[in-house]
Every structure is written in structure tokens, then in C-alpha cells.
Amino acid sequence: MWARELAVSAPGKVILHGEHAVVLGKVALAVALDLRTFLRLRPGAEGRLSVSLPGVGVLRSWDTPGLWALRGRICLNSPLLASIADFDESKSPSVEQLDALREFAGIAAGASAPESLATLAFLYMCLAISAKYGDVPSVDIVVWSELPTGAGLGSSAAYAVCLAAALLMVCGAISCPLQEGESTARWTEEELTLINSWAFRGERVIHGNPSGVDNAVGTWALWDSLPPVASRVPTLRILLTNTKVPRSTKVLVAGVKEKILKFPAIMNPVLDSIDAISQECQSVLEAMPANPSPEHYPVLEEFFDINQHHLNVLGVGHPSLDRLCQVTASHSLHSKLTGAGGGGCGITLLPPDTSPLAVEAAKQDLCACGFECWETKIGAPGVTLHSCSSLSAQVLHALTQS
Ligand SMILES: Nc1ncnc2c1ncn2[C@@H]1O[C@H](COP(=O)(O)OP(=O)(O)O)[C@@H](O)[C@H]1O
Ligand SMILES: C[C@@](O)(CCOP(=O)(O)O)CC(=O)O
Ligand SMILES: [Mg+2]
């Protein structure tokens, strides 16, 4: 039985360099964004588990005995499916497990609509976590996000991180670190590692073959294979533009894989070059606070231009992103796509000597293309537990209207 009403949040991310290449083991520079996904958790009707996902139009509720019976059937009927009970965090969700969950939830085979993937990830995480740590109690869950969905800012990972933290907590696999009277709390390093590994599995349901960067940033706020560049990154001003062209990370990542398999001798050097850009960019960022001379910015701008060309070569560009780059170039600003590409968001570097008028003019031209743009604050805390009373009125409203 779960008796408290609480909220969990996790940040989205911006990838400066290394998207796609990181799936193939190259370096990525990614930092948390001050736009978050929020999950509200409260006691539900006895014997029922409810989930509301207003961002993707999902409102579902299941009998928990029915869910646990499904979990039992999946485990008993097929040796292939036994691994859902005999759980190992490093294993992928199997095709058979996902097929069984799709059938149960009435999701057509191969459906990749946001609501189908979100429901599938929820059910998968619920059943797999409960198989390992004990039944999920009767709770109502609402997930709402400040992040645009499917736009390159890691909304899938923020969703998976929130679900992993909440489900692990209600099952007792991790503590509830928020004391009465406190507004926020974080989990221990060991607990964060567990949250991250489960969020990665949720990302696998949504992405197919994720690198793990997005869920690591959602959990810790920093991609931990890198030195702590985030403390220096806030010196960068970035304009974030959403082209609003929808796309699926899963499809784009699969397309890059296909291209690499088709033309390995041509594509592998491109990935190596992207890797070199990430590493050189990291060196420049590290040198900047000690010597914040304007001469660093032209280098960073060139890295944006070169990488944008590389990402086009990988096949993840889009006419809307070309347009974004052209519009900002007409104001002497440099941009690249961020995240999986194919539409979604681009980032534009704003050097300190950029005049406010130039930024305003660029924003107006971008908005005239039908894009949405805003200046971002880079750097935000990783997954956090909140008392509901400490949430802003806007977030609370969004979570209680659903
Ligand atoms: N707030 C949310 N509620 C439910 N599902 C979400 C939410 N945010 C993201 N998702 C899931 O993540 C998918 C988008 O992931 P993806 O294609 O990787 O784009 P991105 O991570 O760049 O936003 C959606 O189709 C949906 O299944
Ligand atoms: C393209 C990729 O590098 C980033 C995808 O980010 P997003 O889902 O578009 O926010 C894939 C990954 O790292 O798993
Ligand atoms: Mg994603």
C-alpha cells in the first residue's frame, strides 16, 4: 500500500555535439536543460493502477490482479519470456515480451505512435520492476512535461527516468528520501545508478537502440563519461528553436545504422570526425573560463557548421533545419540540429558580443517560418523527488487537471 502524494521530475537535455555518433560508442557533449518532465504519484483505488499522460493523450487504468496474471503468463508460457521474472538490468526487452504487452494493451503490431510507445514503456517497466522487486501498489500516476515531445530534447528519457524512479520507489527497491516538511530530495548514488539502468530499459522500448546519454543526463544531469564541463557550459548562451516538424528518434537511429552498414568506408570516417569535434569542443570549453577571450567563439561556431554538415551526410537533416541554419546565418549566427534531427530542434550559438537587436531579429525571422524559439538555460538538477506543495502553480495545475 502506498500512502503519500509526491512528485518526481527529470530534466531534458541538449546535445552540443555527438548525437548519433554516441550510439556507436563515440563521445557526446550533453547537458541538462531547465525544462523538465513531472510525474505525480498518489494512492489509487484498491486493486487498480492508473496512468494519465496528457502530452500523448493516454488515460488508462488496469486491474492489478489482471496485470500480475499477465506477468505470470508471460513468465510461465514461454521459456523465451521467462527473463521478465528472472530479471537482469542489462538485458533488452525481448520482442516476445513487447508483443505480449502490445496484445494485452490493444496496441497494433508495429505501432509507433507516441501514445503506443508511451503505454508500452509504462507497462513494460511496471511488469519488469514488479517481477523483480514486488508488486507495484495501487497508485494513480500522471506524467506531464514542459518538454516538447519528439523534438530532440530527450523527452523520452525524462519520461523513462521519472517512471523508473517512481516505480522503484513504490516497490521499495529504492528509498523515499523526502522527509515530512521537506520540499525536495535526491536519491543516493547507488539508487541513482539503479534508476538510470531501469530508465535505459524504458528508453529501449521507445528508441530501440539508445546510447544511454539521455537517461544518464536525466538522472545525473551530466553525461558521466565526460569530465564536468557542465559547470563551464553556462557561459554559453544558446538559442533553442523547435521547427515543430515531428520525427521519431527510433526511425532516425535505425536509418543511420543502415547507412553505416551500406557504406562503412564512407560513413565511419564521418563518425570519427564527429568524435573529434566533440573532443576538440570539450577542450575549448575547458579553456574558456581560464581565458574567456572572444577568439574561442569563432572556433565553436565552425564546429557547429562542420557537425551540421556531417549530420546531413548521416541522413538526419531536414529542409526545416536547413532553413533554420540559413535564417540564423543571415544574422551571422551559427546553428546545428540537436538530438536525433529529421526536424525537431536546432541550437544557435549566441556569442557574448551578439547585439540584442540581432538576437531579436533572428528570433522574429525564425518565428515567421512557423518555428518556436527561446533562449535556454543550460544546467539543471537531475532526477528529483518533490513534495506536491512545493511545485509551481503551473506544474501543479497541469498535473491535477489530468
Ligand atoms: N510526457 C510524456 N508522456 C508520455 N510519453 C512521453 C512523454 N514524453 C515523451 N514520451 C514518449 O517519448 C516519445 C518521444 O521520444 P523520441 O522520439 O525519442 O523524442 P525525444 O526524446 O527527442 O523527445 C514519445 O513518442 C512518447 O512515446
Ligand atoms: C540520436 C541520439 O544520439 C540522441 C537522441 O535524442 P532525442 O531522442 O532526439 O532527444 C540517440 C541516442 O543517443 O540514443
Ligand atoms: Mg528520445
Take atom 22 of ligand 1 and give the residue whose Cα is closest. 152
Q: Is the domain of 123 the same as that of 195?
A: yes
Q: Is residue 358 part of a domain?
A: yes
Residue 210, C-alpha cell as written in the block:
539508445
Q: What b-and-e string marks burial along 174-189, b requiring 16 or more CB atoms within 10 Å of the CB? A: beeebeeeeeeeebee
- 254 and 278 in a single domain? The answer is yes
By most ligand atoms within 8 Å of CB, the mutation choice from 253, 257, 314, 337 for ligand 2 is 253
Let me know whether 265 and 176 are in one domain: no
Sole residue written with cell 494519465 = 52
Bridge partners of residue 384, in order along the sequence = 9
Which ligand is in closest contact with the Cα of 211?
A: 2
Indicate the pairing of strand 334-337 with strand 345-349: antiparallel
Domain contains 52 = yes
Which CATH number belongs to the domain containing residue 281 in this structure? 3.30.70.890
Ligand 1 centroid to residue 207 C-alpha, Å: 9
- Closest ligand relative to 30 C-alpha: 2
Question: What's the structural domain count of the chain?
Answer: 2
> Do residues 370 and 391 share a domain?
no
The Cα-based distances of 143 to 32, 39, 106, 129, 146 in angstroms read 19, 4, 21, 18, 10
- Report CA(263)–ligand 1 centroid distance (Å): 30
Q: Are residues 109 and 152 in the same domain?
A: yes
Does one domain contain both 285 and 337? Answer: yes
Shared domain check, 213 and 257: no
Name the residue of 147, 156, 243 to mutate for ligand 1: max ligand atoms within 8 A of Cβ: 156
Q: Is the ipTM of this complex over 0.90?
A: yes
* CA-proximal residue: ligand 1, atom 5 (nearest): 118
What is the rounded distance in angstroms from the CA atom of residue 61 to the CA atom of residue 140?
Answer: 9
Tell me what pLDDT residue 57 has. 95
pLDDT at residue 77, rounded to an integer = 41
Same domain (yes/no): 47, 143: yes
Sort 209 into a burial class: Cβ within 10 Å, 0-12 / 13-18 / 19+. middle
196 and 319 belong to one structural domain? no
- Residue 42 within a domain: yes
H or E, element range at 139: strand 139-145
pLDDT of residue 100: 87
Q: Is residue 352 part of a domain?
A: yes
Decide: 153 in ligand 2 pocket, CB within 6 A: yes
Catalytic site positions = 156, 214
> Which ligand has the shortest distance to the CA of 146?
1
pTM here is 0.93
Question: Do both 238 and 200 map to the same domain?
Answer: no
**Inside any domain, residue 210:** yes
**CATH number of 59's domain:** 3.30.230.10
Ligand 1 residue neighbourhood (C-beta within 6 Å):
37, 53, 55-56, 114, 117-118, 143, 145, 149-156, 159, 206-207, 248-249, 339
Contact predicate 311/19, CB 8 Å: yes
Please identify, by atom number, the ligand 1 atom nearest to the C-alpha of residue 144. 1
Domain that holds residue 256: 233-376
Are residues 66 and 172 part of one domain? Answer: yes
Does residue 303 share a domain with residue 187?
no
Instruction: Let me know if residue 178 belongs to a domain.
Output: yes
Q: Which residues contact 221 (CB under 8 A, 6 or more apart)?
A: 11, 31, 32, 230, 379, 380, 381, 382
Q: Is 152 in the pocket of ligand 2 (CB under 6 A)?
A: yes
Q: Please tell me if the CB atom of residue 211 comes closer than 6 angstroms to any atom of ligand 2.
A: yes
Report the C-alpha gap between 102 and 138 in whole angstroms.
Answer: 22
pLDDT < 50: residue spans in the chain: 76-87, 89, 223-234
In a domain, 1, yes or no: no
